[in-house]
Structures are given as structure tokens and as C-alpha cells.
Amino acid sequence: MSKTTMGKKSAFKIQRRLGTELPGLGKAGALERRPYGPGMHGMKRKKLSDYTIRLMEKQKVRFHYGIREKQLLTMVKNAKKDTSRAWVDTLIINLEQRLDNVIFRLNWAPSIAAARQMVSHGHIKINGKKVDVASAKVGVEDEISITDKGAKSGNYLQAKAKPRLSAIPAYLAAEKDGEKEKAKMVSFPLPEDIPFAFEKRLVIEYYWKVR
């Protein structure tokens, strides 16, 4: 499986294995026909260990946001240094502020991987300056815009024709700038803005030894 792209079959398998639609993978309908795990034994009831249940919840975060385990571990460690709120809330807020996620949440890209590609190709600006780092953090009052070339890209046109998400979150405000869109982060994301079913307690328990 590619680090930046994922086929429909693989995306469906991941979502069926985890029993949750993960919008960031860009492939809707994974659970519509087969709401169970992949493979010939997918329909059998399995007794999962506590560890497996916690692992699966953590994997939802990793696969939805499209980050490696090492990256996620680093983010967990950094989140635990912030004592202003529960560290898992800080983790989700930081993930939601990533530029690739913001582009996806604006429905400018059909998946987070596609958003990452748009950023790496120089299609996105923050406050008028091109940014080619997908993990760049978007702050409150930052303005996000798309280049002329980006507005003609297949990823953008696909997302506009068939948005993966029904609405953008309240922490973002989008408007038209002539023929193109621009947007602003008007407030910090909330932990509840995560766009899939998520049990924070299980992730806390999975990473409880991490310091």
C-alpha cells in the first residue's frame, strides 16, 4: 500500500476491519453491503481482547488522518505535555489543525491523501504564501486559499462534484473569491469535530504508558 495513496479495495478493507466509516480515506460506502470485517471469516463473531479493542480505536485515528505510527506517537507525547485539557483532546485538535486535514474538511479534496498531494504540489496558500508541508499547522485567523492551478486540479474538481462530507465544521468559514474559494479558520477545532465514531477512553488506555 502506498504511503500517500490508497486503492478503493484497501480503503474498504480497512474500514470494514475497524467497523467504522473513515471519511479521510475518501471512499464512502464500505459498510453498506458488508458491515463486517474482510475475508471469508469476516461474518463470524470474534471475541476481541481488550488490547485489540484499544488498538482498533487508535488505528481509526491513524488511518483517517493518514499518518504513520511514529508520527502519531510523537504527537501523543507532545499532547501529553499540554496540561490545559485531556491530552487526547489536544491530540485531536492538533490533528484537525493540520493543513491537509483542513483542505479535506473544506471539501477541496476527496480524501486527506489527495489534500496532501495538493499541498505538496504547491496548490495551497496560507495567508497568501504557498505552503508545501501537509503537516503545517493552521491557526485561528489564518486564511487558506487555492491557486489557479489548484482550482483546475482533478482532486479539487472531484471534491466539488462529489463532496465526501456533507458540511464543513464550524471552526472553518469559506467564501467565494471571484471564481475561487478561500477560507479562514475562525476558531480552534473542538475534540468533538472528529468526523467519525470515536471513543477517547480507549485511545487513552492504549497510550497510557507513553511519556
Tens of pLDDT along the chain (211 residues) come to 333 345 556 888 999 999 999 999 998 888 886 555 544 444 455 688 999 999 999 999 999 999 999 999 999 999 999 999 999 999 999 999 999 999 999 999 999 999 999 999 999 999 999 999 999 999 999 999 999 999 999 999 999 999 999 999 999 999 987 778 899 999 999 999 999 999 999 999 999 999 9
What are the grid coordinates assigned to 117, written together? 498531494
pTM: 0.88
Q: Which CATH architecture has domain 98-185?
A: Roll (3.10)
Q: What is the enclosing helix (H) or strand (E) of 129?
A: strand 129-130
Report the DSSP pairing between strands 143-146 and 172-177. unpaired
Give the pLDDT score at 102. Answer: 98
Q: Which residues of 156-191 are buried (b: 16+ CB within 10 A; e: fewer)?
A: bebbeeeebeeebbebbeeeeeeeebbbbbeeebeb
Domain ranges of the chain: 8-83+195-206, 98-185
Q: Which fold has domain 8-83+195-206?
A: Ribosomal Protein S4 Delta 41; Chain A, domain 1 (1.10.1050)
